[in-house]
Amino acid sequence: MEKYYFSYREIHEIIQQKAKEIISSGYMPDYLLAIGGGGYIPARILRTFIHRPIVTVSLSRYDDITGKTVSIPIKQQWIDKISIDLTDKKVLLVDEVDDCRTTLEYCVNELLKTYDMELSIFVLHNKLKEKHGKIPDAVKHMFIGKEIENKWINYPWDALDITAHELLSERNND
């Protein structure tokens, strides 16, 4: 198998399971902070189990005009103390995958420039591979839904044909 095809059900189950572990550990954030685009769906599912308001920021690795990959992520939407004050709050950052770790590192560092808060991270998947970024020491908890191999991931929300995608995801599980 060269690529992963994950179904919505598998993803929901991973979040369902991990959320229970998080709650059992005694940790409870004040806010879920989705990193868009990848974090929107995991954060919304997570809210079913960890019932806290969702706030979002959005980063892009692509320049909309040139279509090229950029070395420093572009802030498509950001937050500041005027829009929402997260000072002294426990905030759980949510994203779909920890790949090279550079987006997470960038996002954490940028948020900590604005807010003095307790930051933790939840990622649905962590790819077991060499990381180019580092999780800053200030991060309190790093919660991982599932560790996976370093393969290309097809998430269900990116499926142009969901029926075909679900068939491929069933074959993955055989």
Residue written as token pair 């991973």: 14
Least distance to its own copies, CB of residue 118, Å: 19
What residues numbered 77-116 form the site for its own copies, per CB under 8 A?
77-80, 83-84
CA separation for the pair 108, 135 (Å, rounded): 8
Looking at the Cβ atoms of 34 and 124, the one nearer to its own copies is 34
Give the number of other CB atoms < 10 A from CB of residue 108: 21
Q: Of residues 4, 5, 6, 40, which one binds its own copies by CB under 8 A? A: 40
- Give the bridge partners for 33, in sequence order: 55, 93
Out of 30, 64, 95, 99, the active site residue is 99
Q: Which residues, including other chains, have CB under 8 Å from residue 154's CB and lie 6 or more apart?
A: 3, 4, 5, 6, 165, 168
Least distance to its own copies, CB of residue 41, Å: 5
Q: Of residues 16, 102, 154, 172, which one binds its own copies by CB under 8 A? A: 16
64 is a catalytic site residue: no
Indicate whether 12 belongs to the interface with its own copies (CB under 8 A): yes
> Amino acid identity, residue 93?
L
What residues numbered 125-154 form the site for its own copies, per CB under 8 A?
none
> Exposure string (b/e) for 11-49, b if CB count within 10 Å is 16 or more?
beebbeebbeebeeeebebebbbbbbbbbbbbbebbbee
Residues forming the site for its own copies (CB under 8 A): 8-9, 12-13, 16, 34, 36-37, 40-41, 43-45, 47-49, 53-56, 58, 60, 64, 76-80, 83-84, 156-163, 166
Which of the residues are catalytic?
A: 99
